Amino acid sequence: MEKINILFLIICLAIGVSGCADSNLSSEKHFEKNDEENSELKGKAELLKEQTLSYLEKYDDTFTVENFTLKGIIQPFHTIVVHSSKYDENFQVYIYEEGKEFTFEDDYFQLDMSNEASEYIYSLIQSKLPNASVKVAFLDQSIDYKGEIKTFQDYLNSGWVGINSYIFLENIDYERNNGLFKEVVLELNNHDVLGAVRIVSTSTDISEMVPTNTLQSLLKLEAIVASQTFMIDSSKKIITTPVEKISNSEE
């Protein structure tokens, strides 16, 4: 009886070891598969980075790839974040994949046309707000820049001018100037500039900083104290938000 029990134990141990061996083999195969997939994705990412830099050669600038995100369910395109040496800012390249074909789009135009667009907006409001400084944010994710649209004037002639305008003024009295700001909004709308107008109050004059700094960095300045946004709806009615007090000071 004792021999039978020992034999039974040996068989059980053998089965257990065999099971573990099979399990380990399965795990090894799983990791090998993951390694192959990761290697394939890494190779694809490197290829797309190289193709992106080749695609960007049409611009007079030097670029460095900062980040890469492969497409997913929510975002059906690959995204590459690229740094511009000329503007010392980042922009994005969007890569659409169909089979073995790749289509590239980008928003570099937002950097390259920003100052010209800001000057254009200022020219429209200068008679009403001569002391204003302007910064813009384009609503388009991408355009055929350096294709059909080679200049900002081409963009104006395209029939769609999607721009959010940020107008910086020192020590604004919003209540007193409400009517004037609405006139500015109507003036931009009359020139087919579609987008919100944000009137930003500053505690000091930042006019010299506006052309050489990004919109994001300007809005984080301690000098920014308040803002109010104006929009025109489809019925040409002006919609305004309440004045928002802002405190960017570091505690």
What's the predicted TM-score (pTM) here? 0.79
Q: Average the pLDDT over 127-141 and give the result.
A: 97
> Is residue 139 assigned to a domain?
yes
More confident call, 163 vs 20: 163
Residues 95 and 176 in one domain: no
- When divided into structural domains, the chain yields a total of 2
> What are the pLDDT digits (tens) for 205-217?
999 999 999 999 9
> Is residue 79 assigned to a domain?
yes
> Is residue 250 assigned to a domain?
no
Among 35-49, 104-118, 146-160, the range with the most confident prediction by mean pLDDT is 104-118
Averaged pLDDT score across all residues of the chain:
87
More confident call, 61 vs 23: 61
DSSP letter at 149? B
Range in 64-68, 73-77, 149-153 the model is least confident about? 73-77
CA distance 137 to 214: 10
Q: Average the pLDDT over 218-234 and give the result.
A: 96
Q: Is 2 exposed, middle or buried (0-12, 13-18, 19+ CB in 10 A)?
A: exposed
Say if residues 202 and 194 touch (Cβ distance below 8 Å): no
Residues 119 and 167 in one domain: yes
Instruction: Residue count of the chain, please give it.
Output: 251
> Is residue 12 assigned to a domain?
yes
Range of the domain at 64: 2-106
- 136, 142, 147, 148 alpha-carbon torsion, rounded to 10°: -70
Q: What is the pLDDT of residue 130?
A: 98
Q: Average the pLDDT over 75-104 and give the result.
A: 94
Q: In 3-state terms, what secondary structure has residue 69?
A: strand
> Is residue 152 assigned to a domain?
yes
CA distance 49 to 46: 5
How far from chain centre, in Å, is Cα 137?
11
